[in-house]
Structure 1
Amino acid sequence: MVYFVGAGAGDPELLTIKGKRLIDQADVIIYAGSLVNPAVLQDVKPDCRIYDSAGMTLEEVLAVMEQAEQEGKTTVRVHTGDPSLYGAIREQIDALDERGISHAVVPGVSSFLAAAAALEKEYTLPDVTQTVILTRMEGRTAVPAAEQIESLAKHQATMILFLSVGQIEELVRRLCTSYPADTPAAVVYKASWPEQKIVTGTLETIVEKVKAAGITKTALVAVGRFLGDAYTLSRLYDKTFTHGYRQGSEA
Structure 2
Amino acid sequence: MQRKRSRFTFLAMTMAALIAFAAVSAWASAPAKGELFLVGLGAGDPDNMTLRAHKTIAKASVIFAMKGTAEKYAEYLKGKDVHDAGHGMFGGPTRGGKNPAELEAQREKTRRIIREAVAAGKTVAVLDNGDPMIFGPQTCYLREFADLNPTVVPGLSSFNAANAALRTGVTNGKASHSVVLTAARGGRGGGGGDSLAKLAESQSTMVFFTMGLDLPEVVRQLKQSYPGDTPIAIVSNAGTAGKEAVLKSTLDEIVAKLGNAPLPFEHLIYVGDFLK
What band does the TM-score fall into relative to the shorter chain?
Answer: 0.7 to 0.9
Structure 1 runs of 4+ with >6 Å offset: none
- What amino acid sits opposite 1:217 in the alignment? F
Matched with 1:26 is 60
Q: State the structure with more CA Rg.
A: 2
Listed one character per residue, the Cα deviations across residues 38-64 of structure 1 (whole Å, up to 9, x for unaligned) are 4344223x3202223236832254343
- What amino acid sits opposite 1:101 in the alignment? L
Q: Distance in 1 between matches of 2:251 and 2:88?
A: 38
Matched with 2:122 is 73
Matched with 2:133 is 84
Q: Is the 8 A contact 2:236 2:246 kept in 1?
A: yes
Q: Is the 8 A contact 2:185 2:213 kept in 1?
A: no
Matched with 2:84 is 52
User: Quick one: structure 1 residues 52 and 121, their matched pair in 2 at CA, closer, same or farther if it must change by over 3 Å?
Assistant: farther
| C-alpha RMSD over aligned residues | 2.4
**Residue 192 of structure 2 is aligned to residue 145 of structure 1:** yes
User: Quick one: structure 1 residues 184 and 55, their matched pair in 2 at CA, closer, same or farther if it must change by over 3 Å?
Assistant: closer
Q: Distance in 1 between matches of 2:86 and 2:138?
A: 14
**Residue 9 of structure 2 is aligned to residue 9 of structure 1:** no
**Residue 233 of structure 2 is aligned to residue 201 of structure 1:** no
Listed one character per residue, the Cα deviations across residues 19-75 of structure 1 (whole Å, up to 9, x for unaligned) are 1111233211112345x484344223x320222323683225434322322343211
- What amino acid sits opposite 1:43 in the alignment? Y
**Residue 152 of structure 2 is aligned to residue 105 of structure 1:** yes
Matched with 1:231 is none
Output aligned runs, 1:114-153, within 5 Å: 114-125=161-172, 127-138=174-185, 143-153=190-200
- What amino acid sits opposite 1:16 in the alignment? T
Which structure shows the bigger proportion of residues in helix conformation?
2
Q: After superposing the two structures, state which structure 1 stretch, 17-26 or 207-216, moved more.
A: 207-216
TM-score, normalised to structure 1's length? 0.79
Q: SS in structure 2 opposite 1:69? A: helix
User: Quick one: structure 1 residues 33 and 163, their matched pair in 2 at CA, closer, same or farther if it must change by over 3 Å?
Assistant: farther
Q: 1:95 aligns with which of 144, 158, 172?
A: 144
Alpha-carbon distance, 1:89 to partner: 4.9
Alpha-carbon distance, 1:90 to partner: 4.8
Provide the identity percentage.
30
Q: After superposing the two structures, state which structure 1 stretch, 126-135 or 9-18, moved more.
A: 126-135
Q: Is the 8 A contact 1:182 1:204 kept in 2?
A: yes
Q: Is the 8 A contact 1:135 1:160 kept in 2?
A: yes
User: Quick one: structure 1 residues 79 and 73, their matched pair in 2 at CA, closer, same or farther if it must change by over 3 Å?
Assistant: same
TM-score, normalised to structure 2's length? 0.72
Output aligned runs, 1:179-218, within 5 Å: 179-194=226-241, 195-211=243-259, 213-215=261-263, 217-218=265-266
Alignment coverage as a number of residue pairs? 223
Listed one character per residue, the Cα deviations across residues 107-150 of structure 1 (whole Å, up to 9, x for unaligned) are 111111111111111101164321110002247x9613210111
Q: Which runs of 5+ in 1 are unaligned?
A: 229-251
Q: Is the 8 A contact 2:228 2:250 kept in 1?
A: yes
